[in-house]
Structure 1
């Protein structure tokens, strides 16, 4: 029994030793990894504390020593550009409307019933072309009657004239015959004029905008029958702010664009209003237009009136200009360092600013990144 117990105890001890060895083998690398992770966390914490201490010391030293701050500031990545030199033009841009001095209502000149309407809306006609006819039957009858009376009056006059030349008859008979003939001639001419007016004609070349008359309608003198627009004498009328009084003048060059048809024309200011509209504080400007088939009355037009020009100007993009209490300034690049330079700005047109003082046109300006730099900042120009 004792031998069996000893043998059993030896077996248990062996198994325990084997288990301990196996556990030690299996847990050894995990303990080492855990130790390394703990060590790394401690080092990171120390590095963070060290970086914070370094930053604090740098700030404290920078406050005491500005030169140190400039030397240790990180270079700002930027792009650059150079000012442009050359012709600079400034324009006043206003929106106007195309009008016509020959936009008229055509009316009947005699009384009568509309007998025929020839014109249609949108029809292009030439000067003198018949647009409509008014019943002229009564006038025609009067013409026939006067013509017969005139025929007899001419015969009587001719006979009286021959007798008068032969000194036969009295002078009063001759004069009465002559007066009768001439009166009838004038009456006939008047009736023929009235007959001609029964035909409504185009006063000039143009387009029939609207037809207001109706077939069979009774019209009176002055009754509108057609709205008619001429091809010529088109102009653009626009309202210009009163701050341009004395700047925009008659004869100034104008660029006219028509957004609806994508067309541009060149012209000049033909008239400048002398009165300021108290409602919107503007004055009228007129610009004559050359005859163009595509341009129609009431079309929208954009006027660019040149009010300033410089043959040799230094210009830069307007967005580069910054301001402080002293005035406008830009940043230039000198020896990889940004420099603050004050300028005097002139006129600005389409995001381009004229520089009157401060730049010669040979400088290198900070473009992208101009808001990230300051005076005497180290910069790195992107390539």
Structure 2
């Protein structure tokens, strides 16, 4: 039977050649060709069925006649495996303050606008100070008189003329007026609202001509120093993260990366999203601004001598996870116990030693004990 099947293609070619050499019409030749194709299809089906039967009765014969599958390979890695928690954080400032009016009056000038970057001492607004200035002028006149009376009374007292009470009353009046004048001057200074430190005006909450009272909110101001990153971490990592842990930080908007540390770990779980707060120290970087988005990679696990394989090569069936290796030109199925996965790499806890050659391209076409040809590309 096997010998007859080998001559089948030759027989078909002879029949086709004979048909072409005859003087039959084109339609007759087409019909003959279709008939031969049907016969060839029937014979091919019979061949496949017979091969399957032989493979069942004689597995060694099946292995010898199995077509090799073209694959590429890759090596397992053995070395340090690190797992990271990746979360999104936001840059905040400890100098995020509301600037309020410290004295009452009508707003005469508001040079500050939202988004404006200012330096320490720069004027943000001016409040009407006419009343305070008049009180200062009046008090200054009274102080000048009190100073003159005090100086005369002191000269008399030095000459032992007059009473001590008169001298002390003149002195007390002068000093009282000096304190009152200093207080009014302080109020006058507060009519000019200035930036307490370098930063950015987030919101302007006051308008030109508006009447403000002491304590009225005027600006939301964010400083450019003392920045930190705040992120929400799943409660499943409680006890894993602690103060001082290393953190890799990246800023997608400016394509910048840095390494820093966890500066604080929250002790309260947010009941709405089951997370806790983590603060990360941020050095002073000119390009980093408050409210900027960052991506945090916090290491929560490491294995110094792990067996590592590409995650996409791991398959699963009813028995568990497995991966194909290559041994002497044959693919072998190895069941494994996987560990953690990060950055498309998986830690293998059991099943591999770390020196195996893995089936890479073609890993879905092979099976256990399949012949393979390794591509040289």
Q: TM-score, normalised by structure 2?
A: 0.85
- Verify: 1:329 aligned to 2:322, yes or no: yes
Please give the alpha-carbon distance, in whole angstroms, between the structure 2 residues aligned to 1:38 and 1:140: 116
**What corresponds to 1:56 in structure 2?**
49
Q: Deviations over 1:54-107 (max 9, x none)?
A: 433332333334333333322222111112333332211111222222222212
Please give the alpha-carbon distance, in whole angstroms, between the structure 2 residues aligned to 1:35 and 1:145: 128
Report deviation, 1:251. 1.6
Q: Secondary structure at the match of 2:241?
A: coil
**What corresponds to 2:176 in structure 1?**
183
Q: Which runs of 5+ in 1 are unaligned?
A: 1-27
Please give the alpha-carbon distance, in whole angstroms, between the structure 1 residues aligned to 2:41 and 2:234: 63
**What corresponds to 2:102 in structure 1?**
109
Q: Does the 8 Å contact 2:224/2:290 carry over to 1?
A: no
Please give the alpha-carbon distance, in whole angstroms, between the structure 2 residues aligned to 1:137 and 1:96: 48
Please give the alpha-carbon distance, in whole angstroms, between the structure 1 residues aligned to 2:249 and 2:51: 62
Please give the alpha-carbon distance, in whole angstroms, between the structure 2 residues aligned to 1:91 and 1:50: 59
Please give the alpha-carbon distance, in whole angstroms, between the structure 2 residues aligned to 1:47 and 1:97: 70
- Verify: 1:227 aligned to 2:237, yes or no: no
Report deviation, 1:48. 5.2
Please give the alpha-carbon distance, in whole angstroms, between the structure 2 residues aligned to 1:249 and 1:315: 27
Q: 1:45 to 1:97 in 2, by over 3 A?
A: closer
- Verify: 1:94 aligned to 2:87, yes or no: yes
How many residues end up aligned between the 2 structures? Answer: 356
**What corresponds to 1:70 in structure 2?**
63
Structure number with greater Rg is: 1
Q: Secondary structure at the match of 1:356?
A: strand
Which is worse superposed, 241-250 or 159-168?
Answer: 159-168
Q: 1:99 to 1:29 in 2, by over 3 A?
A: closer
Please give the alpha-carbon distance, in whole angstroms, between the structure 2 residues aligned to 1:371 and 1:50: 30
Q: Does the 8 Å contact 2:331/2:370 carry over to 1?
A: yes
Q: Deviations over 1:126-182 (max 9, x none)?
A: 222222221111111111222222222222223333333443322222221221122
**What corresponds to 2:120 in structure 1?**
127
Please give the alpha-carbon distance, in whole angstroms, between the structure 2 residues aligned to 1:239 and 1:259: 18
**What corresponds to 2:264 in structure 1?**
271
Q: Secondary structure at the match of 1:169?
A: coil
Identify which of 328, 342, 348 aligns with 2:341.
348
Please give the alpha-carbon distance, in whole angstroms, between the structure 2 residues aligned to 1:32 and 1:233: 95
Q: Secondary structure at the match of 1:246?
A: coil
Identify which of 241, 247, 253 aligns with 2:246.
253
Please give the alpha-carbon distance, in whole angstroms, between the structure 1 residues aligned to 2:126 and 2:196: 15
Please give the alpha-carbon distance, in whole angstroms, between the structure 1 residues aligned to 2:110 and 2:300: 51
Please give the alpha-carbon distance, in whole angstroms, between the structure 1 residues aligned to 2:137 and 2:32: 131
Please give the alpha-carbon distance, in whole angstroms, between the structure 2 residues aligned to 1:31 and 1:128: 107
**What corresponds to 1:243 in structure 2?**
236
Q: TM-score, normalised by structure 1?
A: 0.83
Q: Secondary structure at the match of 2:23?
A: helix
Identify which of 158, 162, 168 aligns with 1:169.
162
Which is worse superposed, 289-298 or 265-274?
Answer: 289-298
Identify which of 128, 149, 161 aligns with 2:142.
149
**What corresponds to 1:15 in structure 2?**
none
Q: 1:43 to 1:220 in 2, by over 3 A?
A: closer
Q: Which runs of 5+ in 2 are unaligned?
A: 1-20
Q: Secondary structure at the match of 1:254?
A: strand
The alignment yields a C-alpha RMSD, in angstroms, of 2.8
**What corresponds to 2:255 in structure 1?**
262
Please give the alpha-carbon distance, in whole angstroms, between the structure 2 residues aligned to 1:145 and 1:44: 120
Q: Secondary structure at the match of 1:155?
A: helix
Q: Does the 8 Å contact 2:232/2:276 carry over to 1?
A: yes
Which is worse superposed, 350-359 or 58-67?
Answer: 58-67
Please give the alpha-carbon distance, in whole angstroms, between the structure 2 residues aligned to 1:36 and 1:136: 112
**What corresponds to 1:195 in structure 2?**
188
Please give the alpha-carbon distance, in whole angstroms, between the structure 2 residues aligned to 1:36 and 1:114: 104
Q: Deviations over 1:222-276 (max 9, x none)?
A: 2222222211122222211111112222222222222233332332222211111
